[in-house]
Structure formats: structure tokens, C-alpha cells
Amino acid sequence: MKETPSETRTRPTHADLSFQRCISPACGATYGIDEVRVACEKCGNLLDVMYDWDRLEVPASLKVFEEKWARRADPHCFSGVWRFHELLPFAPVDQCVTVGEGQTLLHRCDSVAQYVGLKPGRLLLEYEGMNPSGSFKDNGMSAAFTHARLTGAARAACASTGNTSASLALYCSVSRLMKAVIFVGSGKIAYGKLSQALDFGALTVQISGDFDDAMARVQEVSRELGLYLVNSVNPFRLEGQKTIMYRVLEKLRWEVPDWIVVPGGNLGNSSAFGKAFFELHQLGLIDRIPRMAVINATGASTLYDLVEKCGLRWNRGSPDLETVKQYYQEMDAQQRRASTIASAIEINRPVNLYKCIRALEVCNGLVRQASDQEIMDAKAQVGAGGLGCEPASAASVAGTRLLVSEGLIGPDERVVCILTGHQLKDPNATVAYHTTDQELFNKVLGSHGVSRAAYANRAVAVPNDLDEIIKAIRLYS
């Protein structure tokens, strides 16, 4: 039926049906969807993107999304983020920015299942390294860019351990919508990631200090210069990252797994996953919520310490703020700084701490820490199992192994580990693990307490002589 002009005028827009809201139930302040904010003006807490689901068209079943597969010539149906537009409808679909993100695999990997102690078929690796910039960040970046475009931003900024900056730089170079300004801790970013930011043409500011220093500075500078901040304090980033879970469900033909295991750094992913499952359950699109395990590196264990040692809980919106304050005071007094080979998650003060503990409440979750030795061994197993990943990603596999050995995950349970970033992001760590050069091993890994490489695949040195080469191949293959 054709609409009359007056009907068109009265139909609610996306701006009427979505808004931003403070995560603190005691505050609950709301803001328009078109406002650029990374914190509540009244109480300083983080913000959520919220929807008036009752007035939106929500699919009756997740199966409805399968219809989009037949329409993949349309970039918004092809996108692994925007084909779920109905579940993050803060902007009209034709305004949503896409560079083809989210074409990921859920890879059944029985060799890694055996390594962690699960039965064949029970371990699945969600391979986010297949994204255009090689990490899961592109899911969130497409959503943040969409919001930035709605607000007319001209420049975007982030602090990063490398992947956010690579993703921001890529979205700027492909879309031409904004200019990228990135802050990185000097010497704190893996070369693969730095090379991306430079190659994509981002203004790269290397500050002396670590990620936390860069994070604090970028917030100041963004306020001062009116730069659009794309770190995961930006609630729109997390809307995009919810879709990682939608794709996991999609590949399981909408069956909910028993566990989601994810590395924890700034805690954007874990927060987004909790929101995704809470909403799906609230909308009646899933009948149960999986458990979630967040895995810290032992050298960057703020979440683990606070949740598992100090007993910090979301407590339905009233977390014990004093515990957190004291923890950070001690951290500063003792000058403890995060240090791990998994540089992507080398973070002291995760900005999404409170959203993450809320997600742990939603998902009956828990936190574990994995040492750099465990992370590097798990990474070698992931590589040998057919999909490579960077060190931080392998924390999910190392953590799963720990939880199986503790009896918390049963061998029959279906577990999805999120492989957050591509193997080529950090070739130094990989080469150092497999090397025969002890000096290189010590420099890159020994300094992080890694003492052996039990799963190393060492290169074979042979003279440039046909007989010797053939002899070596016969001997080793």
C-alpha cells in the first residue's frame, strides 16, 4: 500500500526508537542516539545503546536471518554485521558503513579439542582473523563508523595495542569518511599491526608509555579537539561486536553452545557478548544463555584478580566500587604494570570493567588467567590445527584447557573459543617460538617467562646441495 505524506511523517525513525542510557540502574540517565558521548554526564559511568523493541520490527525467529544469504549481492546483506541489522537498529540500514566485515569461519578443530581435553567435535574456533583488517575489531568499527557518519564527524581517534588502530586506519582509508589519529604506546605494539596503521595512512602518535597511558591521553585529546573516539568506551562499537555471537549461533544452526571462551583485555568483547545474549533471551529468540569464560594473561590480570580473588560482582548494578578503588591504588603504589607476550591484552585498567562484570552475571561467567607459556603452547596448537592466531587469541584455548582440567568444563560440552586476531599480526612471537636461535627465543619469549617450546616446528638447516637436501627431506618427512 502506498503511504500518504502524512503517514510518512508520523512513522517513527531510528532516532526515535533507539537511545543511549547510563549502565548504572541508580542513575539511568538517557541521551539521544545522535549525541557523541563515551560516559554519562551525570555520574561518569559507561553508556549502553538501547532500543524500543516493542515498536521495532523484530524477527520472530533467528532463522529469518537466513533469508539474507540469498541477497548477498547487497553489501548490507553480505556484511556479517549488518545482515543482523534488526538486532542493532540504531541507524537506517542504507546509512550503515560496511567494508565487507564479518566473513568469518566457525572451525571445528579436533586436534585442539584433544589438546584441551574435549571430545571430538566439541571444540569450535570462531576465526575473527578473517576480517578485512585481520581482527574482530572490524565488527565494532563498522558500527562506530556508522554512528560517526550520522554525527558528521571528520576525524576519529583511538588508543590501541594495535588492532583497534589497524581497523580504524583501514575504515578511514576504504570509506574516506574520516581521518584517523591513533595513539600507541611506544614499543608496545606488534609489527604486523603497526605496519597496517602506517600503510593505511593514519596519523600515528607514539607516546612514551603503555596502552593505559595512551588511553588516558586520547580521551583528553579527543575532548579538546572534538575527535570522534572509537575505543570500546564508545557504546556503538559494542553493538557491532554483538554480531560475533550472532554468527556463532548462525553457524551452529541457531543452537546455543555450552560455553563461550574469550580473551579479556579492555573487555569490550565480553561486554558485547553479554549484551547480545541478554537481548536475544529477552526477545525470546534463544531459550538459554551460554556460560562465558573470560581469560586474562597472567601478566595483565586485573579482571581475574578483582573477580576471582576480591569477589567483585555486578550485584544487579551495585558493584563494590571501594574494592576497585583500592585495587588500583595498590597497583599504582606498587608501580605494577601489565606485561605479557600477548601484547593485545597488556592492559592495566580495562575500560569496560563494569559492563564485563554485568555480562558475567548474565552469562553465569567466570574468569581465569593463562601464563605466557600456556598461551604460546596453545597458540602453536591452534596453528598446527589449521588456523593461525596471534598470542592474545590463544588465551581462549589455554583458558579452556585450564577449565577442563579443573572439571568446570565437561569433555562433552560444546565450547566456542574466540580467535580474535590473525596469526600474521605478530610474526615475531611465532618465529621466536619455533626458532632454533636461542638468543632470539630468550629475547622475545624468555623475557616473558616462556622457558620451552614443546610444540615448536623447527626449520631444518641444510647446505645448498641437492643430495643433502634430499637426505634431509627423507629424514624429516
Q: DSSP letters along 462-475, please?
A: --S-HHHHHHHHHH
Residue type at 14? H
- Cα separation, 296 vs 306, in Å, equals 12
* Residue in 316, 436, 300 with CA at minimum distance from that of residue 370: 300
Phi then psi dihedrals of residue 19, to 5 deg: -160, 175
Measured CA to CA, the distance from residue 88 to residue 475 in angstroms comes to 56
- In angstroms, what is the minimal distance from the CB of 161 to ligand F0G? 4
Minimum CB separation from ligand F0G for residue 388, in Å? 12
Task: Find the shortest distance in angstroms from Cβ 175 to ligand F0G.
Answer: 19
Q: By C-beta, is 24 or 160 nearer to ligand F0G? A: 160
3-class secondary-structure state, position 400: helix
Q: Which is nearer to ligand F0G, 265 or 319 (CB)?
A: 265
353 or 415: CB nearest ligand F0G: 353
CB of 106 to ligand F0G, least distance (A): 17
| Contact (Cβ atoms closer than 8 angstroms) between residue 415 and residue 396 | no
Torsion angles phi and psi, residue 206, rounded to 5: -95, 115
Q: Given the complex with ligand F0G, which of 402 and 419 has the nearer CB atom?
A: 419
- List, as one string, the DSSP characters of 297-324: ETTB-HHHIIIIIS----GGG---HHHH
Secondary structure (DSSP) of 424-438:
GG-HHHHHHHH-S-H
Q: How far is the CB of 165 from ligand F0G (least distance, A)?
A: 7
Nearer to ligand F0G, 17 or 141 (CB): 141
Q: Which residues pair with 415 in a beta bridge?
A: 123, 259
Nearer to ligand F0G, 118 or 342 (CB): 342
Residues forming contacts to ligand F0G in the complex (CB under 6 A) are: 135, 160-164, 232, 263-269, 344-345, 390, 392-393, 420-421
Question: From the CB of 188, what's the least distance to ligand F0G, in Å?
Answer: 10
E strand intervals along 198-355 = 203-207, 228-229, 259-263, 291-297
**Measured CA distances, 143 to 28, 151, 341 (Å):** 23, 13, 30
Cell numbers linked to 272: 558485547
Task: Tell me which residue of 380, 373, 378, 412 sits closest to 398, measured CA to CA.
Answer: 378
Residue 281: enclosing H or E segment and its boundaries? helix 268-282
| For ligand F0G, the closer CB: 215 or 285 | 215
> Which helix (H) or strand (E) is 185 found in, with range?
strand 179-185
Amino acid symbol at 220: E
Closest CB to ligand F0G among residues 150, 417? 417
As given in the structure block, the three cell numbers for residue 361 are 552475571
Provide the minimum distance between the beta carbon of 254 and ligand F0G in the complex, in angstroms, as a whole number: 25
Q: Are 133 and 182 in contact (CB under 8 A)?
A: no
Residue 2's contacts (CB-CB under 8 Å, 6 or more residues apart) are none
Q: How far apart are CA 265 and CA 347, in angstroms?
A: 6
How near is the Cβ of 399 to ligand F0G at its closest, in Å? 12
Whole-number minimum distance, CB 223 to ligand F0G, in Å?
A: 19
Nearest CB to ligand F0G, comparing residues 78 and 136: 136
User: Least distance to ligand F0G from the beta carbon of 239, Å?
Assistant: 14
In the complex, the smallest distance separating the C-beta of residue 293 from ligand F0G, rounded to whole angstroms, is 13
Q: Which residue's CB is nearer to ligand F0G, number 62 or number 148?
A: 148
